[in-house]
Amino acid sequence: MHKRRMIIVATILMVLIITLVGRLVQIQLVATESFSKHHVNLIEASVKQRSQVLKIDDGRGKFYDRNGQPLAHEEIPTLVLFPFLSKMTWPADEVARIIGSSEQALITAVANAKEPFAFGGDTPIQLSLSQSKAINELKIPGVFAVNQKIYGEDRLAAQLIGTTVKSDALKLERYPDLNLSPETRIGDKGLQRTFDEFLLSEGESKLVFHVDASGGPLFGVDVKYVEPANPLYPVKVITTIDKEIQEKAEALVDQYKITNGGLVLLDIEKSEIVAMVSRPALKKDDPNGIGSVNMMATQKTPGSVFKTITAAAAIDYGVISSSRMFNCDLTIEGKVDQQRPLGMLNFKDSFAQSCNRTFAELATEIAEENPNFLEEYAKKLGIIGQVGWSGDVYHTQVTQLYREQSGKVWHEQALKKDKKMIAKTAIGQQDVQTTPLAMANMMATIARGGKKEQVKAVSKVEFNNGTTVVDFPNQKIEGENISPYTTIKLQQLLRGVVTEEKGTGALLQNLPYEVAGKSGTAQTNLETGKLNKWFAGYFPYKEPKYALVTVSLDTTEQSSGMTPLFADVVKVIHQLDSQ
């Protein structure tokens, strides 16, 4: 009996030892880089436990404006201090003299630190090049001047550039063949998403110092600078945004208290987005909220800006003449217009004063000959279908703009035969939807003589050493264009909106640049009286450089129109161009 008990105990002990050894083998040899269901890298965790680390750069590619200025982050030369300095004698007075601070402030900051930090708290002091050089020439262990990449709360062109996430599920779904760290961020929205394959981190840049249990030096006082093995990374995504113009555009949109809407400014010759502002603003604590949606790439009802489409068709179909007059005291249904009677107007004045009756009448006439004409001309001027750059890059289809919507003219094809529906559609109501970006591109198309081109948000991607990974050439939008003759007539009509005494853009007459454009007010909810207010145009009129759309969405009759904001943007551009 006693012998049997000993055998049982020995067996249990043997099983426990084998289990323990097996567990140790698993931890030490088998699952060191992916332990447990959480896939913990035990080697990294062990190193992290006995190290003090200051991350200089997460290794993900960065965004820059067209002039090489950083967007979405700042590159700030900062003073980095390590906690082990409190356990040694170091020339704090010399460092304080270089940066213009007090010696005691440095000593106190180090004494209170538990990990490496950039001196200055939440807003680290920014060093000059000479200060950075002087500090590093001292060669003090634990004291460094480094360029640290800092992500601010308020980011420019936030919806265009987009957001990132750490989602393990998304990483596995998108990159099943890559062994990405749990700390690796991937693109979720905007250009962060569409250029994610270029932007993926090849490893962090960091300062590492090994410590003992008390935080003291483990192997002397050497601090190692660790950077990605591939010196070509992180890449630089060179956007078409002009940082200075973007900053001023965002300030103006907020000054006009636009809470839903924004503006888009295009370089006509290069077909590039110079500035794009979308409101509601993106909130850092709510990255998936309404503020994450880029309103400039989202379908909206355009109202009378769409009359530009109807006007193009009317010119081509020959249904207008200088002598033909339209009764603009009537509504599109033929009733007396109690709100905005305009009298008898010719076609040019009808466009300048935005007479609904004229364009409803012309559209129903043309529809008898061609029921599809509104859709055809909307395509010719590029307001339906995507206008963002899309093409083949290294045998992969790249679409620059994230979830750009396409726009439409008709919701149901049967409505093309209904005269009331044709009349409403001709003035940009009923089912008509287009994006502010597409409207800006329509103005650019007219300004450049009828040539439709895709719009770029990124001009090229560069390696870290400045060599080009890929650039994005100008590309045409496929399909028919309007004729040169029709283009010239549209240019004259758009200029008349501003120059005519009663034109809806008369407020823009005395700007430093001559402007051509079209206003629009679209009813979006009859019960609540909500409106979309637009002004779309281009400037300078004779030598066009910029196309601009300003828009306030789901606003009220009492709110300001969009011509004052348009005017202020033109003034800013002229001022910057004159410098």
Q: Is 364 exposed, middle or buried (0-12, 13-18, 19+ CB in 10 A)?
A: middle
To which H or E segment does residue 225 belong?
strand 224-226
Compute the CA torsion angle 68, 73, 74, 80 (nearest 10 deg): -130
Residues 62 and 73: beta-carbon distance below 8 Å: yes
How far apart (Å, rounded) are the C-alpha atoms in residues 386 and 400? 11
Residue type, 236: K
How far apart (Å, rounded) are the C-alpha atoms in residues 312 and 75? 49
47-to-24, 89, 182 alpha-carbon distances in Å: 18, 27, 16
Q: Is 123 exposed, middle or buried (0-12, 13-18, 19+ CB in 10 A)?
A: exposed
92 three-class SS = helix
For this structure, is 304 an active site residue? yes
Residues 276 and 241: beta-carbon distance below 8 Å: yes
**In terms of Cα–Cα distance, which of 578, 31, 562 is closest to 253?**
562
Residues 405 and 416: beta-carbon distance below 8 Å: no
**In terms of Cα–Cα distance, which of 163, 166, 119, 122 is closest to 145?**
119
Per the residue annotation, which of 205, 292, 304, 390 is the catalytic one?
A: 304
How far apart (Å, rounded) are the C-alpha atoms in residues 424 and 132? 65
253-to-153, 305, 400 alpha-carbon distances in Å: 18, 20, 25
How far apart (Å, rounded) are the C-alpha atoms in residues 5 and 454? 84
Q: How many CB atoms lie within 10 A of CB 46?
A: 11
Give, in degrees to the nearest 5, the angle at Cα 144 between 138 and 146: 125
Catalytic annotation, residues: 304
